[in-house]
Structure 1
């Protein structure tokens, strides 16, 4: 009998662990099922809510929808926000489910990914409003140049738009904590290099062109009238 008990002891231990694990597995499956249902509801609510406030018009005018289409995606920015909300809820459900199963290492990894998704959502909002503002400023610059008779209005409007978008992208990357100080330092180095290149170009070979543009934009007669 003692020998039989020795052989049966691992089986008893396994059955005991299995009996304790099955209820937790059942709870985890229920949590995942509820998570999927809530994720679908969240995606539907986000998409309908954003379209109700005409957010898709803003993203279309800002150029983000066109950017996504050029990348080969079949969804627009509103659908992308809904997809991010869907996966955020799914990740929350996974964290709760794995935490109930006692898989702490998996829970920690999923928790890091889960906290990264809201940063991506905020970064996309920054890009959407920043791109719309950049396009608005570019149109304003172009309209002013046309009314003032400046022939380089298209180039100036593009320069203003690209400059604003560069700052917007840097803010979005900083929001996602991508690159950190490396991105900022690289941007400042590139910006300084561009400014230096323009200064050298004007100083070495573009003085006559700059003088002609200054005379065209701001004639000498108007400057002489200023006390």
Structure 2
């Protein structure tokens, strides 16, 4: 699928939509579901879009399938029907949805491509995950695959494929090998981006449609900025 955006009404970038699924390109700063900040979540924005587009009175059904960190951009899938939601949840839980991320990092990795295996332990006090070479108490095994796909003037573009989906997994594991993601102060980059984003983008997603059983392949264009533009 091309990087065409079907709709950007109300600044919502819809990448794919049918009767059962809606896929959007999350902006930096959007929260997928409501939290203690009280900020309007992306799920409410999508509900409002559906209500207006289809002139739906009353409450709009929308199921949250997965999440992205607030400063991260890219593909988010929502379910528009109660029939599709448990099937989508199972797809993601069983790792049958193939996710590819782009990460812009300051330092080149030790190898052009590699598999990283760590044990991640989350510290809820500072909302940060720490990578360990060996299993520690309350840690979870984390596996990702990366490869260098482009060298920019001052940065490196990595393609990352997740085998597990842990809290801050890409951010933590890449920082452990010295590849700090641009703008990610929490994980070792030396300064923040002006918009509080980090240069981590959920770029590709492929899965089998839970109802129609057809392959779905989606690509999300990264945000418009000089560094992301240089990646394309």
TM-score, structure 1 length as denominator? Answer: 0.20
From the CA coordinates, give the structure whose radius of gyration is larger.
1
- Return the structure number with greater strand share: 2
Higher relative contact order (CA closer than 8 Å, sequence separation 6+): 2
- Return the structure number with greater helix share: 1
